[in-house]
Amino acid sequence: MTSICVLPGSAGEALASGISELLGVPVTECVVGRYPDGELRPRVEQVRGRDVFVVQSTSPPVGERLMELLLLLDACRRAGAGRLTAVVPYFGYARHDRLELPGQSVGVKVAADAIAQAGADRLVVVDPHTPALAAVCPVPVEVVSAVPLLAEQIAPAWTEAVVVAPDLAAAALAERYAQTMRESVALVRKFRVDQHRVSAREILGEIAGHRVVVVDDMICSGATIEATVALLRNHATDIAVAATHGPLAPGASDRLRRLGLRRIVVTDSVVPAAAGSPFEVCPLAPVLAETIAALHCGEPLHNPRFARRIRVYRPLERELVTLACRAVGVLSSTRLIRKCRRRACIGVGGG
């Protein structure tokens, strides 16, 4: 079996470090130099013949982060990487998924085509804004969900809550949260006035006297969350927010803080992650390490028995987590997970 290589871009250094620690492999260093005019010049080593995972979110500044990813993929391919996977937790340009007006581009396809052309054999993304990504990308796309991790962070202190989708596009995501948390679902109908203003019109579902968790795949300007909270405030007893991605636009964090919420939970898919109360950061390293180990070992990602293993990780002590993830070139991850469960006395899906 070829050895694994976790190689970070500048927007994936912290994530790559966490992933590598869980997998029990060192981070593969790369040098990203710059020409005087700002052009990037990456150089990679020790990737020949290896199973390489390049970790890089295309978060703001999106253009530069995407270009860095493309150059890293090209450098790895030219250096003889055996298999090359782009791990892009936050996939920029995913909102540009269709032609709304004549003369527009389809940014998600342009970005996906570029990643494939740069040398990627496969793409791993976390909760992309559009399901069209898998359809338009020339290489296989593995979609990882952060919902189990986010729901697990919220649920213990937020029982008997109603999961609220702030718009129709988030309804399927809200249903996944509700199934994980075993809670009910409500939907808000919204109308977008313009790029910066949103009007929430109607609540579909029963939330009166309940705490609610507003869920979305991403928060950018904060306008949708602001309008939703304004509508819910007179009906719900308390409000929390959970989103996979937080590519906050300038002024968005202050806008959200003014809402007076106690909890806004996002993952660390975007660098830098939102910080300070009421923001909480949920690390993606466990689910990405699990995904990378499965891909490297040729195990399925989407059968129920495999998916439940993610929930085994969180109650285990650090050394057990490391042991569970060291499926790389030693044993199958199935046998290691079973060994961990025996040592920790935890059943499948525990935690």
**Which of 64, 69, 59, 125 minimizes the C-alpha distance to 93?**
59
Place of tokens 């949708």: 224
**Which of 180, 199, 194, 196 minimizes the C-alpha distance to 349?**
180
Neighbours of 122 (CB within 10 A): 18
- Which residues face 263 on adjacent strands? 240
Alpha carbons within 13 angstroms on the beta-carbon side of residue 152 total: 21
The helix or strand, by DSSP H or E, that contains position 323, with its residue range, turns out to be helix 318-325
- Distance separating alpha carbons of residues 312 and 347, to the nearest angstrom: 8
**Which of 118, 116, 125, 59 minimizes the C-alpha distance to 88?**
125
List C-alpha distances in Å: 294 to 343, 345, 346.
Answer: 22, 23, 21
339 is catalytic: no
- Distance separating alpha carbons of residues 101 and 44, to the nearest angstrom: 41
- Distance separating alpha carbons of residues 297 and 120, to the nearest angstrom: 18
- Distance separating alpha carbons of residues 126 and 142, to the nearest angstrom: 9
Q: 50, 190, 210, 309: which one is catalytic?
A: 190
Three-state secondary structure readout of 255-271: HHHCCCCCEEEEECCCC
Provide the annotated active-site residues. Answer: 190
